[in-house]
Structure 1
Amino acid sequence: MQLQRLLSFTRKAVDEYDMIQEGDHIAVGISGGKDSLTLLYALHGLKRFYPKHFELSAVTVDLGFENFDLSPIQDLCKELGIPYRIVKSEIYHILFDVRKEANPCSLCAKMRKGALNDAVKEMGCNKVAYAHHKDDIIETMLLSLIFEGRFHSFSPKTYLDRMDLTVIRPIMFIDEKDVIGFKNKYDLPVVKSKCPVDGYTKRQYAKELVKQLNEEHPGARERMFHAVLNGNIKGWPERIPHIR
């Protein structure tokens, strides 16, 4: 995927869900993976020409894995001129050594987001951008149906009133395969996850299920995505027609 295509889909999301206002200071949550680095490039590129001016920072919550070298991310942020903060934590130690969690993903996500949001507020940001793409939204909807019995997925924009912080998801219209293509084309400095349960989660199950459904019923994946967009899900903002 070319940078121009990435920026086009990012602007589509930002415009249709009114994600950015004049004077915003947006923190990009960086995990070190392909998705968050693609998001960083997307917002850095958008900042150059978007009519509403905004500031951009980046932040990573270091979960405490051994040999988790974030220097490639530091170098990238320096190259792009984006302030970057690393938040040290003992989340790995708490989950795997103290609590010995068999299914740590939900608690890990909660602790990680809490640490991230606290850091974002300390940095003076009023918004935080998460790197959830189209496939994430579809998979979350499927997981919600199967395990919670409700039709739900990530919202493009969510206001956290207790934190006075707005979460936005600017790459929600971008396919994961295009994120992979962008990573390869622009040689993004991905820092591989050290998580011992990576690839063995319910989300991985949902990913494989969506792939299977789409192979057996071509177009099913896109239909599921549009069902989410048109599903009147509680908490989702109103969609603004994309006219430019």
Structure 2
Amino acid sequence: MIEEGDRIAVGVSGKDSITLLIALAQLQKFFDKKFYLEAITLTLGLGDIDLDFAKKLCEKIGVNYTIKETDIGKIVFEERREKNPCSLCANMRRGALHNTTKELGCNKVALGHHKDDVIETFMLSLLYEGRLHTFSPIAFLDRKEVYIIRPLILTSEMEIKEFVEANEIIPIDNPCPVE
């Protein structure tokens, strides 16, 4: 999943991804393969968000932090006026994250998906699509020439919650009007 010389972007948005960033920063200290970390937060253009905790954390652990301003919220809610905006928003956020990953010279993007996400995706796929499918721990995106990795895929949501509480992690508030 992580190879010598990898440049890994971590999409930082909430508890799971902040936990992932901390775990990867700790792994860097003793892992036999050297890799670089870059933290990325996308803004959706839906108002101010408090990024102080993420900024201070990145400074403390020595990880460069990029904040990418986007108009995704404006496009989804004002221009397109989607009745069911979540799918379009998710696709646009993924695209913006992958593009930013490439702009920063990273070859992999690490996402904070965990074991419970795998199970939920599997069940939703079964119920709504009639197929047995979920996401993979490692995937290559041909068009972007970037790998997606999910290092927390064997970690339960409960384990992440316990880590968050023990380390007093403050997630980035999501200004989405749907949530």
Task: Please tell me the TM-score bracket, short chain as reference.
Answer: over 0.9
2:106 is the counterpart of 1:143 = no
Q: Given the two structures, how large is their TM-score scaled by the length of structure 1?
A: 0.72
Distance of 1:186 and 1:65 partners within structure 2: 29
Shift of 1:189: 2.3
**RMSD over aligned Cα, in angstroms?**
0.9
**Corresponding position of 2:138:** 157
**Corresponding position of 2:5:** 23
SS at match of 2:30: coil
**Corresponding position of 1:97:** 78
**Corresponding position of 1:110:** 91
Letter in 2 for 1:115: A
SS at match of 1:194: coil
Distance of 1:36 and 1:141 partners within structure 2: 21
Shift of 1:136: 0.4
SS at match of 1:48: helix
Letter in 2 for 1:196: P
2:20 is the counterpart of 1:39 = yes
**Long gaps (5+) in structure 1:** 1-18, 199-244
**Long gaps (5+) in structure 2:** none
Distance of 1:154 and 1:64 partners within structure 2: 28
Instruction: Select 1:126's aligned residue among 76, 100, 107.
Output: 107
Shift of 1:71: 2.2
**Corresponding position of 1:178:** 159
Distance of 2:9 and 2:142 partners within structure 1: 17
Shift of 1:64: 1.2
Offset from partner CA, 1:131-172 (integer Å, 9 cap, x none): 000110000001101111110001100011111100000000
User: Which protein has the larger Cα radius of gyration, Structure 1 or Structure 2?
Assistant: 1
Letter in 2 for 1:22: E
SS at match of 2:90: helix
**Corresponding position of 1:82:** 63
Instruction: Select 1:48's aligned residue among 9, 25, 29.
Output: 29
Shift of 1:70: 1.3
Offset from partner CA, 1:213-243 (integer Å, 9 cap, x none): xxxxxxxxxxxxxxxxxxxxxxxxxxxxxxx
Instruction: Select 1:71's aligned residue among 52, 57, 66.
Output: 52
- Is contact 2:115-2:155 (8 Å) kept? yes
Shift of 1:94: 1.0
- The runs of at least 4 aligned residues of structure 1 exceeding 3 Å deviation read none
Offset from partner CA, 1:67-94 (integer Å, 9 cap, x none): 2121221111011110010110011111
- Is contact 2:112-2:151 (8 Å) kept? yes
